[in-house]
Amino acid sequence: MSKRKIKESSLPLGHCVSQVQKILRERFCHQNNNGNQFGLESQHKHLVELLKRTAVHGESNSALIIGPRGSGKSMLLNDVLKELREIKQVKENVLQVHLNGLLQTNDNIALKEITRQLQLENVVGDKVFGSFAENLAFLLEALKKGNRTNSCPVLFVLDEFDLFAHHKNQTLLYNLFDISQAAQTPVAVIGLSCRLDVLELLEKRVKSRFSHRQIHLLNSFNFQQYLKIFQEQLLLPVGFPDVCFAEKWNNNIQAVLKSRIVEDELEKHFSYSKDVRSLQMLLMLILSRITVSHPHINSADVVEACRLQSMDSKVSILLGLSVLEVCLIIAMKHLHDVYDGEPFNFQMVHNEFQKFIQRKAHALYNFEKPIIMKAFEHLQQLELIKPVEGVSVRSQKEYQLMKLLLDGGQIMDVLQKYPNCPTDIRQWATSSMS
């Protein structure tokens, strides 16, 4: 490319940075896999063939996509549906109904949502149906264009599938699976669940009508594949407006991945969580550090993002406490150790704190009891301590039993980082005697 053409195609740096932010944020937030299967090629192929048989050949099917949260169930399904929509015969022929167990909490709500998504409100009108099955059959009958081969196929997607199993008599599931087994309107029922035992939740009559097809997603990729996903998620596409900037950005990403520090940090993150959603959250933190004055990612950005994502939120809260509140936490730690995790009350904590003040009067000002009570209540508001369940709330505040929601490691970690923490307080925390 000539110098003149390069100059014409180059954009202001600020515009390039905003374009990078826009493209990559959309990729991370909208479950856009950028055309990559993340090791799910066989599952993708299986699901495409299954849905194509319904959409093109009018064959009814049912299947469950099972995997832990963040394993890519929704992303896989969205990718398959996107691929199917590119087939003209499918695009013009298939209707989709998306239900979610968190939203459609009973069968009547689900039926109304099915009616709305199929745009059949006017057809139903004020009709009264004798049963759920009759209502659903009427909806599907209204979609027919003549004989079975000309009927419009319907794809039902049930997200949080296991929650539908808790509906009364599992009427919705029974009727959907029953239709998928019968020679009626072509129907595909796809359930998404994070529970491996989801089939055990189904009643015998429902289970007998399910095809027992299960597609499992288990995040089986290794660390090298994980690094490849990291790289592919950050690379800019071919059609980026500024070719020169995109080339420099992509080369920089490859260089950053060769850094030993970056590889070590990502290996720690990989051992903590292997799912792509967690990785995309990490990438979002890295991307947020990109500015006009800092237009390219470096090793420090990756290290800082890993630190922020793995940060203990309770430790962060503790670092913002006053010295008095930290002392009360230490007193609770000693009571927890002495009484083997038994509940404590404010009076016990106050007595423990007073023992320390008497021994180390020079280390800390002796606060009045109402002030100490206020600090104690603040710790409860921050949910660092909580009242013991099942105990009468009529007891005086000083004697209400509490439980510490921190472990010793978190407390000691805070004392190492706490700014200007008096030495006597640190020693008190490490001493086994209170």
- CATH topology match: 40-216 vs 315-430: no
For 67-80, the pLDDT digits (tens) are 988 788 888 898 89
Break the chain into its structural domains and give their ranges. Answer: 3-27+221-311, 40-216, 315-430
Average of per-residue pLDDT across 102-120: 87
Distance in angstroms (rounded) separating the CA atoms of residues 98 and 288: 33
CATH number of the 315-430 domain: 1.10.10.10
pLDDT at 36: 61
Residues facing 191 on adjacent strands: 64, 158
Range with the poorest average pLDDT among 274-278, 281-285, 291-295, 361-365: 361-365
| Model pLDDT for residues 239-270, shown as the tens digit of each residue | 888 899 999 999 999 999 999 999 999 998 88
Q: What is the pLDDT of residues 308-346, one digit of tens each?
A: 888 778 888 888 888 899 999 999 999 988 888 889 999
300 has pLDDT over 80? yes
Does position 81 have pLDDT exceeding 50, yes or no?
yes
Per-residue pLDDT reduced to its tens digit, 209-239: 898 899 998 877 788 888 988 998 999 988 8
Amino acid present at 191: G
Per-residue model confidence (pLDDT) at position 408: 82
Of 305, 253, 304, the closest CA to residue 279 belongs to 305
Q: Is residue 123 over pLDDT 50?
A: yes
**127 has a pLDDT exceeding 50:** yes
Which has the minimum average pLDDT: 6-10, 40-44, 48-52, 386-390? 6-10
Rounded to the nearest integer, the mean pLDDT of the chain is 84
Per-residue confidence (pLDDT) for residue 34, from 0 to 100: 55
Q: What is the CATH number of domain 40-216?
A: 3.40.50.300
